[in-house]
A and B are shown apart, each in its own frame.
Chain A
Amino acid sequence: MATRRWENGFVRWIDARFPIFTAAQHQLYEYPMPGNLNYWWNFGSIAGVILVVMIFSGIFLAMQYQPNVADAFDSVERIMRDVNYGWLMRYVHQTGSSLFFACVYVHIFRGFYYGSYKTPREITWLTGCLIFFVMMATAFMGYVLVWGQMSFWAATVITNLFTAVPGIGESITTWLWGGYAVANPTLNRFYALHYLLPFVIFAIVAMHLIALHTTHSNNPLGVDMKGPQDTIPFHPYYTVKDLVGLGAFATLFAILVFFAPDVLSEPDNFIPADPLVTPEHIVPEWYFLPYYAILRAVPDIGPIPAKLAGVIAMFGATLIWFLVPWLDTSKVRSARFRPLYRVFFWVLVVDCLVLGWCGKQLPEGIFLTISRIAAAYYFFHFIVLLPLLGLFERPRPLPYSISAPILKPGTTSAAGRLELAAAAAGDKVRP
């Protein structure tokens, strides 16, 4: 990053002391982006925007919310009825959490499909997994703050997971509660942590981006950028592409907020929390359903009782993502060139959807059987399939570079060639 001569004297003065303009120039114009990113690459930036929207709306909600068991539910209703635009802020926050997870799931599965976790991008992947983990904790605690029936019993069920820990389980749970049941101390600490954790996420996002900008973006072909003919500057090409995606996403967001704000959430949470009555059927928000299915599916495994095994499996379902860069033995990144992995990727997607569907049902009869098969397959995919596929699969020939297919007719479709040509052209327009 050489010292750049800025024409404007004021800009030059600032830049010599705080090189924000040079950094922006570097990240927007000099930082090489692969020319062939498709719309699946939009979801990272969209997730970043939602994080900001969540923090923004959350801070304003916090100014109206009362973190006390006597007032919490009523204060949420006051936000809905009395506070100016309170309904809007709350629905933005509530819908935002759902769509945040939706985006992040697409972002993660894009990583699975195109092998974005493979060397040299392991740290980008690991920080991403960490973000997801903290997100789950944040979303759970935020859900409890509403203090409806589902909030209360979700808090009870999730904190009770820790009683499965042998020996010290009860003590851990008492410590989490700050009492002998979910009560006011629990609500207070959840409120404090729910305010804190988004900023922790923000910091990990910064790490995620530093790692990303060190190793550069993966791309749909999964081959490295070989030179300027493969790259285009971020601005204006990907700023505009990101904005197009963001516009479409914001439209969906607005439709949900204004016309179907409660479609993604549980009606039981409109009943104030009652520590003496459990709702007939407790289910988490949709984004936790697959995990919930796994939790309930696991039977006794050898000496491990079902309760502990279920908890291990549920946490393991996310923790196993941390190992994916080393479980996948294939050197080829993109599933476009991995005929078998490509099939199993979609099987995994369907498997997760089936788990989600089972999580919504009562854990008995056919649903329990399906949950067990689907949960077993989930771990089979990561622990057995990923290592073996790399050893036995014969990948299709990779293009030499991102721009090479343009010059080798027949390697991609005509539309693909034009796309690549257009992408390659992007690099030429900066003087």
Chain B
Amino acid sequence: MDTADRHAPEPTPQGRPLTAREESERARVQALLDTRYMADLGPVEAGWGRRQFLFVTSVATAFAGLNFFVWPFIDSLNPAADVQALASTEVDLTPIEVGQSITVVWRGKPIFIRHRTEAEIAAARSVDLSKLPDPQPDTARTLKPEWLVVVGICNHLGCIPRGQRPTDPHGAYNGWFCPCHGSHFDTSGRIRKGPAPNNLAVPQYTFIDDEHIRIG
């Protein structure tokens, strides 16, 4: 399509010459068309003109608005209030005999609670920290020496280590052994051998009294 033709106003349907009034109207419209055409060529000066400024700020505002719109939807997939309300667990320690372990559920995860023997405490406290993959003294991992509370999830790839029951394998250090990829944990739940990078995590917990703890 020839651009010049697009500018030419259409002839009257009858094909007759324009009257004076029509001619003046035609000239006015043509002037309007010319003005718009000039305006649409953009600013003559180089650099940022008003047009680019408006374009960039509009797009930036729209993008920010889109993020405000999307965030509630993303956040809706986070734990809801009723899920968070279950985020702490209280445990009665009285039935746990010395040498016995129990597993409780906190936030859907297994928590190992072990009533340690004197020998286990001694073993955990006599280790040379410099030989540990994740050096941490046993005193920093317990509130009371006889009670060990750890998250029972191997931090290699999320399996639950064996060792809670007396008949389970306890690994080379008399603690826990992860059957998935062979990580050995000691009586303080620390990694001693195998692919796990860190010790079994200690959850945040407090002693409500001598016989009860609250996890979370």
Interface residues of A (CB under 8 A from B): 56-57, 60, 63-64, 78, 81-86, 88-89, 226-229, 400-401, 403-404, 406-409, 417-418, 421-422, 424-425, 427-429, 431
Contact = CB atoms under 8 A, between A and B. Distances in A.
Nearest to A88: B72
A407 B25 contact: yes
Given A89-B76, A429-B37, A407 B12 contact: yes
A89 B32 contact: no
A424 B33 contact: yes
* Top 10 A-B pairs, shortest CB-CB distance: A85-B72, A429-B40, A82-B81, A82-B80, A82-B82, A425-B36, A83-B80, A84-B75, A400-B13, A425-B33
B80 A407 contact: no
Contact of A428 (B7, B12, B73, B78): B7
Given A63-B76, A409-B25, 15 more contacts: A57-B73, A60-B77, A82-B83, A83-B80, A86-B76, A86-B80, A89-B73, A400-B13, A404-B10, A404-B13, A417-B25, A418-B32, A424-B33, A428-B33, A429-B36
A296 to B, nearest CB: 40
B22 interface: yes
25 contacts: A57-B73, A60-B76, A60-B77, A63-B76, A63-B77, A82-B81, A83-B76, A84-B75, A84-B76, A84-B78, A84-B81, A86-B76, A229-B6, A229-B9, A229-B10, A400-B13, A407-B29, A408-B12, A409-B21, A417-B25, A421-B33, A424-B29, A424-B33, A428-B37, A429-B40
Contacts of A60: 73, 76-77
A307 B182 CA distance: 74
B22 A409 contact: yes
Contacts of B26: 407
A429 B37 CA distance: 6
Contacts of A81: 81
A82 B9 CA distance: 64
Interface string B1-40: 1010011011011000010011001100100110011001
A78 B80 CA distance: 9
B75 A85 contact: yes
Given A82-B81, A425-B33, A408 B76 contact: no
A225 to B, nearest CB: 12
A231 B139 CA distance: 81
Interface in B32-74: 32-33, 36-37, 40, 72-73
A407 B32 CA distance: 13
A427 B80 contact: no
Nearest to A418: B32
B33 A407 contact: no
Interface size range of chain B in the complex: 20 to 34
A85 B72 CA distance: 6
B1 A228 contact: yes
B211 to A, nearest CB: 33
Interface in B75-105: 75-78, 80-83
Contacts of B1: 228
Given A229-B10, A407-B25, A408-B22, A421 B82 contact: no
Given A404-B13, A409-B22, A421-B33, A428 B6 contact: yes
Contacts of B9: 229, 403, 406-407
Contacts of B77: 60, 63
Contacts of A64: 76, 80
B41 to A, nearest CB: 8
A401 to B, nearest CB: 7
A406 B22 CA distance: 9
B36 A428 contact: yes
A228 B82 CA distance: 62
A381 to B, nearest CB: 35
A200 B33 CA distance: 45
B97 to A, nearest CB: 40
Contacts of A424: 29, 33
B72 A228 contact: no
A422 B32 contact: yes
Given A82-B80, A228-B6, A229-B9, A89 B33 contact: no
Contacts of B21: 409
Nearest to A420: B29
A84 B72 contact: yes
A422 B36 contact: yes
Interface string B186-213: 0000000000000000000000000000
Given A86-B80, A422-B36, A403 B10 contact: yes
Given A228-B6, A409-B22, A425 B76 contact: no
B10 A401 contact: yes
